[in-house]
Structure 1
Amino acid sequence: MSNDLARLASRIAALERRLAQQTRTSRLAYSSIEDGAVAVYDAGGSLRAIIGQQPDGTSGVNVVNGPRPPIPSVPQVDPVLGGLRITWDGGFADADAAPLDLSRVQVHLLTSADTDPDAMWPAATIEAASGASVTIATNYYGDVWVRLVAVSTSGTPSLPSAAVRTAARRAAAADLGNGTVQQGHIAVGAITTPHLAVGSVTPDQIAVGQGTNLVPDPGFEGAVIAAAVAAAGAPWSLARGNRTGVGVHVDCLAETATYFTLPLATVPVLAGAQLYLAVDVLVSDDLDAQAVKILARWENAAGTVLGYGVVEKPDAIPGMWQRITGQVAAPQGTTQAVIALEASAATTGWAVFDNAEAHTIFGRVVGGARAELGPDGLRLYDETGEPAVSLATGTPQYLTLRSGGQAVATIDTNGNAGFADLAVAGELTVGGDPVTALLGAHARGLVAIDYQTTSVRTTGSEYGFVELAFEADATRMYRITFDAIANPSVAGGELQLRLRDGGANAPTITSPQVQLATHHLPIGNSKRVRLELVRSGTALGAGLHRLLITFRNQYGPDGQYVDLYGAANSPGVLYVEDIGAHVPETGGYNTGGGTSQPPTRTYTKTYAASWSGSYANRSGYNAYYGNSCMQGYYSSNNGIQASLIGFPVQLATDLAGATIQKAEVYLYFEHWYYASGGTAVIRAHSHASRPTKFSCDTEGKSISWSRNQGKWVDITSVFDSTRWRGIALDPNTTNRAYYGRARGVGQTYPPKLRVTYTK
């Protein structure tokens, strides 16, 4: 009994221990988040964090909509050689401690004490929440103001700290040892002739611009342009460049028409020299200016302005980056040129410039036979000074070849060509159709024939007479004809002619019959008899056909026989003709009582594209390319690109209730990543007008193209009459063999759709 009590007490103690353990277990010990997330909201109902699977498919903790961080304390700023050292002590002007969601503290260099920092453009960042120092290099030695901005993990910036005025320290004699100052440390114009002894600087120690570009820092990414912009002051500033990097921004607000000019470089130039100038420009919707431009201001040795060489864009399209290019020539007396950006006679709006170029054009530039070579390409002039060859980008290109002063071959600016003789090793196309296809659309004539000059006799049984074989094409139409002489022994009855088809096998009198012709024998004398059949290659079946003509007499007097023959002066003949491309059957039975239904007909109609456009990352419409049709991957700027091409509403009307026999599209690809050409992937879409987001069918057809080739291609397999209203170019791959540009609506050789249908 005592043992039982002891065991009972032991079991009760064990249960108490288990109960204690269970009560201490977390409420989520056996919980999980399955393919989702937990949203965290504050007391006011605002979303503060997302724990688990994020909207982009990743997993983690994402803090959003956090409160504005406190204002950082005033930084300690120490000038250093060619820069500034900024120290933040980790404190805040309006808080005792750093917030738990602090991400970093941005350092901003500003042109005035009251300038508001742009959180998108910090000069540096301090990552340590406890404070740290950063050193910022600069070639600008004027006054700047330093302000700090705290940024939370949710991306919310604080108000800026109080501004601290400072300036970078210039180099003193004690700072400069052997080799301390090297290429890129000296701004253009910073050192003048009195500072240099003869022979102290050799050509290999001087760098002006980059490569053959006379503009230092042409991408506007470095200290040279930053110093130039800072020196020019308002209205010039740095801004986001062409898709990536840094550009130069000018605010064109003025009470009267004003010329806003920013010099980029002063370079030596001799009279008669030519420069190639180019720059990317982006303008606002409200820009009111004569033009935006890049120019060369021609000056003599005394600095007197002799004139201007201008490359401008007077009608720039707002909101779209555009490149302006051109050539300018220096007048007599020129010794130097000032390369500058300018917004001319402006009163409102703004403009941004990026990627400036100024290159010397090599070659004699005045009169007679000569060559000009520049960044945009090559130009050759004949002895009269007229251009004979122009292979330059951004301008019409043409080529004239001469022999003995006479033109023997020409390719003009529209792509029209003239040659004495032309030999084509590959495929020759006309209007996008291969010549073989154009010829194939018509009858090809006889494909097989046989003549008969002997006779065969039947006395009532079916006999074979002549065999003829040919290869049938499913896309063609054929006429099979037999003509010979029949001679009955006595009048009466009829002669039955049969056409039998053995296919690829030897034909016999039991082979399938494909046609029958009967001829009455009213007199016991010779008469011509004939059998004819028109049939499509589809109905016959593609491939070899061994045809057999058989004959027999029937319903005549007893003992009648018939000879079927041809003579030397009047032979019999069996022949097969190709009479053209396949034509679908469109007729129907009609007893003669009339019908209200219109007859079924075959139509072939060509539709010009009504809209087109490209889509970056296979997503949003990219207005940068206008109506051009891009496909494939070139860089991460636009990702994998795709295009949509649409056709007028008449297409939907015509195809309603129709059966498509053939659908073809014409595209002209002017460029591929590789000189050898590329591959287009064509799909169908159902958009009636150009959408803001890209979408298309998944089924596609891949077709090879050459550069500057326009051609018709068959897309019947991916196009139907009930859903599709246009085509998409969508390779959906980063393989550059698929990167190309086709012409769109409003350009030469625009897209077209040709549909053959019955209705």
Structure 2
Amino acid sequence: MSNDLAKLAARIATLERRLTQQTRTSQLAYSSIEDGAVEVYDAGGSLRAIIGQQPDGTSGVIAVNGPRPPIPSAAQVEPVLNGLRITWDGTFTDTDAAPLDLSRIQVHLLKSPETEPDVMWPAATIEAASGASVTIATNYYGALWVRLVAVNTSGTPSAPSAAVQTAARRAASADLGNGVIQQGHVAVGAITTPHLAVGSITPEQIAVGQGTNLIPDPGFEGAVIAGAVAAAGAPWSLARGNRTGVGVRVDCLADEATYFTLPLATVPVLAGAQLYLAVDVLVSDDLNAQAVKILARWENASGTVLGYGVVEKPNPAPGMWQRITGQVAAPQGTTRAVLALETSAATTGWAVFDNAEAHTIFGRVVGGARAELGPDGLRLYDETGEVAVSLVTGTPQYLTLRSGGQAVATIDTNGNAGFADLAVAGELTVGGDPVTALLGAQARGLVAIDYQTASVRTTGSEYGFVELAFEADTTRMYRIVFDAIANPSAPGGELQLRLRDGGTATPTITSPQLQLSTHHLSIGNSSRVRLELIRSGTTLGVGLHRLLITFKNEYGPDGQYVDLYGAPNSPGVLYVEDIGTHVPETGGYNTGGGTSAPPTRTYTKTYAASWSGSYANRSGYNAYYGNSCLQGYYSSNNGTQASLIGFPAQLTTDLSGAVIQKAEIYLYFEHWYYAAGGTAVIRAHSHAARPVRFSCDTEAKSINWSRNQGKWVDITSVFDSTKWRGIALDPNTTNRTYYGRARGVGQTYAPKLRVTYTK
């Protein structure tokens, strides 16, 4: 009995041990997430985290929609030489502990305590959640206020901390050890010649232009321009540049017309020297100014101003970057030029400048035959001092070739050309249409003919007379004519002429009949008989056709026979004539009782484009290029570009209920990435006006184009009269064979649509 109790106790102990193990085992010990993610929501139903595979294909734990972080404690600020040391102690104003999803602390330098920080433009960041210090260099020594912003892993910013006032420390005599003063620390004019020993400063130790550009820091990204802006003070400041980088902004607020000028550099220049000046400009809608400029102020050795060389934009279009370029020449007595940005006679608005250029034009300045070479291109002058060749960007280009002082060939600024003789090895186009197409649209005349002088007789049965073969084209119309002499043995009855088609086989009297012509034999004497047929190549069918003329006398007196013949002095003839391009059938039956329905007609109408534009990254409209039409990939600035071209509402009205026979588009491509040309990819779209976002049809047609070539191309296969109202240029590839620029609305050789339709 005791042995049984012992066994029972041991069994109970084993069961208890197993039960304990089971309850302590994780419920997900043998679970996994297969090709997916677990989403974590809070009590309010908001998504807070994604665990597993993320939308971009990576894996991990990503926090989203996190709560706004607490406000960091105020910064501790210590001025240092040419900068500030900013310290955050790791605490917050309204909580005892840092949030678990803290990502970083942004440091913002502001020019007033009321300014709200822009979280897109922090001066620096502190990454340590426990607090840390960061040193920020600056050449600005005025009052600054430091504010901190906490950002969590979801990207949510906190409210800014309290503003702490400070200022960077200027260099003192004790700070000026060897190599302490660097590029950009010395303002223009601060050190004059008596202070410098010969050879004490070399080009490596001063701010000089980059390459052939006389302007130091022309992209406005470095310390040189930062120092110039800081020295000028308000209203000059740094701002976002042309698409990327940094630009220089001027706020033109004044009670009366004021000239706002920012010197960029002073460079040595001799009298008569020419400079190429250029800069990108962006202005506000409310800018009220005489002009925005880049200029050279000409001075002599004593600093007297001798004049100004100005490149300006009097009425720049607001809201879009534009480049202004030009060429200026130094007057007599000039020894130096002060290069500067300027907004002239301004009272309201703002302007931003970027990417400034000032290059020396190489070549003799005045008199007779000479050459000038600059960043914008090449100019050649003849012996009279007139420009014979101008191959420059941004201005009209032209070319005149002379022999013995006489012009023998010219291409003018509008692209009109004159030559003594012209030989074209490739295709010659007129108005975008190939000459071959223009000539081919007309009647081509006879394509096959045969004369008959012999006699053939029939006595009541169908008999063959003459065969003639030709090749038919489905895009053409043909007239087939037979004319000969018939001589019956007795009057009465009729002569039946038949045109039969054997196709590619030998024609016989049983071959398909194309036409029948009957002639009354009222007299027993010779008379002319004729058969005529007009057919399209589409109806006849493409390719070889072996035609046969047969004849038969019918309903005449017994024993009647007929001779069909031609004579040497009056031969019979059978010929095939090409009478033009295919014309669709538009007629209909009318009993003569009157009808209200208008007749069906064929129309060919040409529509000028009413709007056009380019789209960066195949997405938003890119106003930078205006109405120009770009396609393809050049750089990451705009990504893979596409364009839309639209046509007036009249097109919709005209094509309502119409059947399109042919749709053609005219485009003038002025540029391709490769000199050999490129490939345009044409699609259709249904936008009635220029949309904000890009979209088009998927069906496409690819056409090869040369540079500076305008031509008509057939797009019937991608154009539907019931839906499409314009075209898109959309290669959707980074292959630079497809990067090109076509002209748009308002430019010479603008897009046109030509539609042939029946209605």
- Whether TM-score is above 0.5 comes out as yes
8 Å Cα contact 1:282/1:320 also seen in 2:
yes
| Structure 1 match to 2:169 | 167
In structure 1, C-alpha distance between the alignment counterparts of 2:611 and 2:135, rounded to whole Å: 54
In structure 2, C-alpha distance between the alignment counterparts of 1:205 and 1:260, rounded to whole Å: 30
Gaps of 5+ in 1: none
Deviation at 1:164, TM superposition (A): 4.1
TM-score between the two structures when normalised by the length of structure 1: 0.91
The CA deviation string for residues 253-286 of structure 1, in whole angstroms up to 9 with x for no partner, is 2233222211111110111111111111111112
8 Å Cα contact 2:207/2:224 also seen in 1:
no
The CA deviation string for residues 310-339 of structure 1, in whole angstroms up to 9 with x for no partner, is 111221111111111111111121111111
| RMSD across aligned positions (CA) | 3.3
Pairing 1:530-609 to 2, within 5 Å after superposition: 530-609=530-609
1:383 match: secondary structure = coil
Deviation at 1:557, TM superposition (A): 2.6
Residues 515 and 146 of structure 1, relative CA distance in 2, 3 Å threshold: same
Residues 283 and 33 of structure 1, relative CA distance in 2, 3 Å threshold: farther
2:168 aligned partner, one-letter code: T
Is 1:40 paired with 2:41?
yes
Residues 37 and 360 of structure 1, relative CA distance in 2, 3 Å threshold: farther
| Structure 2 match to 1:66 | 67
| Structure 2 match to 1:231 | 231
Deviation at 1:496, TM superposition (A): 1.6
| Structure 2 match to 1:529 | 529
1:176 aligned partner, one-letter code: N
Deviation at 1:131, TM superposition (A): 3.4
8 Å Cα contact 1:84/1:168 also seen in 2:
no
In structure 2, C-alpha distance between the alignment counterparts of 1:616 and 1:597, rounded to whole Å: 49
1:574 aligned partner, one-letter code: L
The CA deviation string for residues 521-549 of structure 1, in whole angstroms up to 9 with x for no partner, is 22222222111110000000011111111
1:652 aligned partner, one-letter code: T
In structure 1, C-alpha distance between the alignment counterparts of 2:519 and 2:379, rounded to whole Å: 78
Deviation at 1:492, TM superposition (A): 2.4
2:305 aligned partner, one-letter code: V
| Structure 1 match to 2:714 | 714
TM-score between the two structures when normalised by the length of structure 2: 0.91
The CA deviation string for residues 488-537 of structure 1, in whole angstroms up to 9 with x for no partner, is 22222222211111111121222111111122222222222111110000
Count of residue correspondences:
754
2:507 aligned partner, one-letter code: P
Deviation at 1:716, TM superposition (A): 0.8
In structure 2, C-alpha distance between the alignment counterparts of 1:10 and 1:446, rounded to whole Å: 115
8 Å Cα contact 1:73/1:91 also seen in 2:
no
In structure 2, C-alpha distance between the alignment counterparts of 1:29 and 1:159, rounded to whole Å: 47
Deviation at 1:468, TM superposition (A): 0.9
| Structure 1 match to 2:621 | 621
Pairing 1:143-292 to 2, within 5 Å after superposition: 148-153=148-153, 154-160=155-161, 162-167=164-169, 175-176=177-178, 192-194=192-194, 196-199=196-199, 208-292=208-292
| Structure 2 match to 1:695 | 695
In structure 2, C-alpha distance between the alignment counterparts of 1:719 and 1:504, rounded to whole Å: 36
1:226 match: secondary structure = helix
In structure 1, C-alpha distance between the alignment counterparts of 2:633 and 2:178, rounded to whole Å: 49
2:252 aligned partner, one-letter code: C
In structure 1, C-alpha distance between the alignment counterparts of 2:171 and 2:240, rounded to whole Å: 29
Residues 107 and 192 of structure 1, relative CA distance in 2, 3 Å threshold: farther
Residues 116 and 189 of structure 1, relative CA distance in 2, 3 Å threshold: farther
| Structure 1 match to 2:364 | 364
In structure 1, C-alpha distance between the alignment counterparts of 2:200 and 2:422, rounded to whole Å: 63
Residues 647 and 434 of structure 1, relative CA distance in 2, 3 Å threshold: same
Instruction: State which drifts further: 414-423 or 549-558.
Output: 549-558
In structure 2, C-alpha distance between the alignment counterparts of 1:74 and 1:203, rounded to whole Å: 41
8 Å Cα contact 1:466/1:550 also seen in 2:
yes
The CA deviation string for residues 55-78 of structure 1, in whole angstroms up to 9 with x for no partner, is 878776242363144224534647
Deviation at 1:297, TM superposition (A): 1.2
1:254 match: secondary structure = coil
Deviation at 1:388, TM superposition (A): 1.8
Is 1:388 paired with 2:392?
no
Deviation at 1:423, TM superposition (A): 1.0
8 Å Cα contact 2:276/2:328 also seen in 1:
yes
| Structure 1 match to 2:475 | 475
2:662 aligned partner, one-letter code: K
Deviation at 1:696, TM superposition (A): 1.3
8 Å Cα contact 2:289/2:347 also seen in 1:
yes
Instruction: State which drifts further: 487-496 or 535-544.
Output: 487-496
| Structure 1 match to 2:681 | 681
Pairing 1:378-417 to 2, within 5 Å after superposition: 378-417=378-417
Deviation at 1:666, TM superposition (A): 0.9
| Structure 1 match to 2:503 | 503
Pairing 1:65-84 to 2, within 5 Å after superposition: 66-75=67-76, 77=78, 79=80
In structure 2, C-alpha distance between the alignment counterparts of 1:287 and 1:593, rounded to whole Å: 71
| Structure 2 match to 1:512 | 512
Deviation at 1:116, TM superposition (A): 5.5
In structure 1, C-alpha distance between the alignment counterparts of 2:441 and 2:591, rounded to whole Å: 34
1:552 match: secondary structure = strand
Residues 296 and 168 of structure 1, relative CA distance in 2, 3 Å threshold: same
Pairing 1:725-740 to 2, within 5 Å after superposition: 725-740=725-740
In structure 2, C-alpha distance between the alignment counterparts of 1:521 and 1:36, rounded to whole Å: 96
Deviation at 1:649, TM superposition (A): 1.2
1:618 match: secondary structure = coil
| Structure 2 match to 1:654 | 654
Residues 748 and 109 of structure 1, relative CA distance in 2, 3 Å threshold: same
Deviation at 1:146, TM superposition (A): 5.5
In structure 1, C-alpha distance between the alignment counterparts of 2:13 and 2:556, rounded to whole Å: 121
8 Å Cα contact 2:389/2:400 also seen in 1:
yes
Deviation at 1:418, TM superposition (A): 1.3
The CA deviation string for residues 211-254 of structure 1, in whole angstroms up to 9 with x for no partner, is 10001110011111111112222221111100111111112222
2:290 aligned partner, one-letter code: Q
8 Å Cα contact 1:142/1:168 also seen in 2:
no
| Structure 1 match to 2:456 | 456
1:650 aligned partner, one-letter code: Q
| Structure 1 match to 2:306 | 306
In structure 1, C-alpha distance between the alignment counterparts of 2:125 and 2:58, rounded to whole Å: 27
2:167 match: secondary structure = strand
Deviation at 1:672, TM superposition (A): 1.2
| Structure 1 match to 2:419 | 419
In structure 2, C-alpha distance between the alignment counterparts of 1:696 and 1:521, rounded to whole Å: 67
In structure 2, C-alpha distance between the alignment counterparts of 1:428 and 1:393, rounded to whole Å: 27
In structure 2, C-alpha distance between the alignment counterparts of 1:677 and 1:236, rounded to whole Å: 44
In structure 2, C-alpha distance between the alignment counterparts of 1:68 and 1:346, rounded to whole Å: 44
The CA deviation string for residues 638-685 of structure 1, in whole angstroms up to 9 with x for no partner, is 222111111111111111111111111111111111111111111111
1:497 aligned partner, one-letter code: L
Residues 475 and 218 of structure 1, relative CA distance in 2, 3 Å threshold: same
Deviation at 1:421, TM superposition (A): 1.2
2:229 match: secondary structure = helix
Residues 181 and 228 of structure 1, relative CA distance in 2, 3 Å threshold: closer
1:525 match: secondary structure = coil
In structure 2, C-alpha distance between the alignment counterparts of 1:744 and 1:15, rounded to whole Å: 86
